[in-house]
Structure 1
Amino acid sequence: MALKLKSEKECRYDILSLGEVMIRLDPGDDRIHTARHFKVWEGGGEYNVARGLKRCFGKRAAVVTAVADNPVGRLLEDLMYQGGVSLEYVKWLPFDGIGRDVRVGLNFTEKGFGVRAAKGCSDRGHSAASQLKKGDIDWDSIFGKDGVRWFHTGGIFAALSETTPDAVVEAVKTAKKYGTIVSYDLNYRPSLWKSIGGKVKAQQVNRSIATYIDVMMGNEEDFTACLGLDVAGLDKHISKIDPGNFKKMILEAVKQFPNFQAVATTLRNAKTAGINDWGAILYVDGNFHEALLRENLEIYDRVGGGDSFASGLIYGLMEGRSGDEAVNYGAAHGALAMTTPGDTTTASLEEVEKVMAGGTARVDR
């Protein structure tokens, strides 16, 4: 049974995401602590999914977030305009003059090389989005009046403060009331949870949200860290990935959360910062579907690969494609996104489908 989406005619947007959008400061080939120049991007786990569905797959997309109303916030706005995602649901908060009460979150990210892993350093305390709480957004108007076919949020936003989990629950419950499909990316980030209870808190929050989710996503470690679902045979460094053990974990997830209509996980073995094995599994309609495993995939910038997987997967499911096609849209889009700098995709649907069809990297003239 395919996912039952609302019709395009009755909805203003195909995809709506809830989450924080930050300014990413990229030192290029330098380290964060030695750089003297940074390139500016926008990015955020949940936002990246909506942006990918807009820019690569041509879907009508919007984001719900909050931004400090100052020049830095307006820089972020300008970057988001380039992404093409509607900002009509952005909540602008007055700036206090110093950032003591509200500010724009920053994310410093350096690319890894060889044995040196990529590294992210968040600077997002007191950000506008982290202060969103239940009652701040008129979800009945968004889902009931305007109409949304698919709603996406995730564990990064849920980890930002004591209030954001309640904001997520309010949003997903209202989305489901109006027949909107809801997806969630667990996106476990130890740095976000460590000051508010670590894995214990992460599991408490994510398990409470999971009961409302239609399509659950994560990577190799997310389901264990966020939902307490162990994967047999997985070592500390996630160097040996057995798809069979992940399938057993997914079956346990569906058993514990029968509301899941689909479950997907990416599979990444990082041999070096620039060479990864990259694959994915989708469980839908009682069957497993594996994406083509890309061994020794060359990585330029791995950040955002999982978000691009999610947007490709959602596109496939939204279009009613088979499980095999949907998971391969996700895996191919994620692979392409990791060939360029920044959090967000620069790929086109034509490029994704070329990679899916086995196209090579020969010059295209």
Structure 2
Amino acid sequence: MSGPNSDYDPVEVTPLHADEVEAMRDAALAALAAADSLEALKQARIDHTGDRSPLALANREIGALPPQARKDAGMRVGQARKAVAAALAERQGVLEAEAEARMLVDEAVDVTLPTDRTPRGARHPITTVQEKVADIFVGMGWEVAEGPEVEAEWLNFDALNLGPDHPARTMQDTFWVSPASAARVLRTHTSPVQARTMLTRTPPIYVIAPGRVFRTDEMDATHSPVFHQVEGLAIDEGLSMAHLKGTLDHFAQAIYGEGMTTRFRPSYFPFTEPSAEMDLLCYVCHNEPGAVAQCRTCRGEGWVEWGGCGVVNPRVLIANGVDPQRYSGFAFGIGLDRTITGRYDIADLRDLFDGDIRFTEPFGVEI
């Protein structure tokens, strides 16, 4: 048997000659150093470290060498590829830093420059009017009271002299919360806030209760199952309808301007006695001769319906722990949605709830 072949040329594969490997390494280092952008560096990386690069092809040729020569050739090629990889990482870090520095200069924004950008959106008129009403009464020394929207049946009805057989308790008007044994409803007015106030405080009491209320109305141009009210309650010694009229006249003037006034028409509400529907002097024609007949807002009446009011029924005072022999009071309630639609000649109540920014934009950002 013959012995192993020891007669070979260790550099018989040309790409693996020491000078060839050094030449490939130097060419790669020069190309990387010459790259002046990340794009140029990417191309240099493909050309000199990719699968078809000279050093990669030389690495494949190691297998063609006799076993005794593979170690030296592998070390030469490996050191060359390692030097190229280190140079690539260093050059990439430099170019990325330069690119970021250029970006900070080229894309800099001067935030102090004036802009003609149109403001996005606007405050909703319901929010604006509700807060304006609160400001008016706070300026008069009143307080703003709040309560839950899911309310106890007793507070929503019984405490306000709405007996078990009252029509408002039926499913036609009220959203009842399941199960029925819970005796809870979505409040049909903000009057339960007044009841809560009387039960927890000692007169004198002067509060308004703005908020969202719920009734089982079909959604159309003039009705909504969800709407907004503001109710007022005053409990003190010696209060009468005269105080109610003065309060509402001041309120009307604060909302609509000097000269605005209200009038009362006899009506009925279980929680007030006597009760009245309050009308607002038409804010368009002001009931002036020659203008009232052509006014579309009041339809020739000279007055616009605004809400209900009256002297608090003694039964309500007793139910809520107030002595009717010592104290009297008045209350009123106004629909904010109807107030807005009438004041701004909005034909469809649904416009208030559709969420269309084109509707709210004309109202601006008044605060």
TM-score range, shorter chain: under 0.3
Structure holding more helix per residue: 2
Q: Which has the larger radius of gyration?
A: 2
What TM-score do you get using the length of structure 2 for normalisation?
0.26
Structure holding more strand per residue: 1
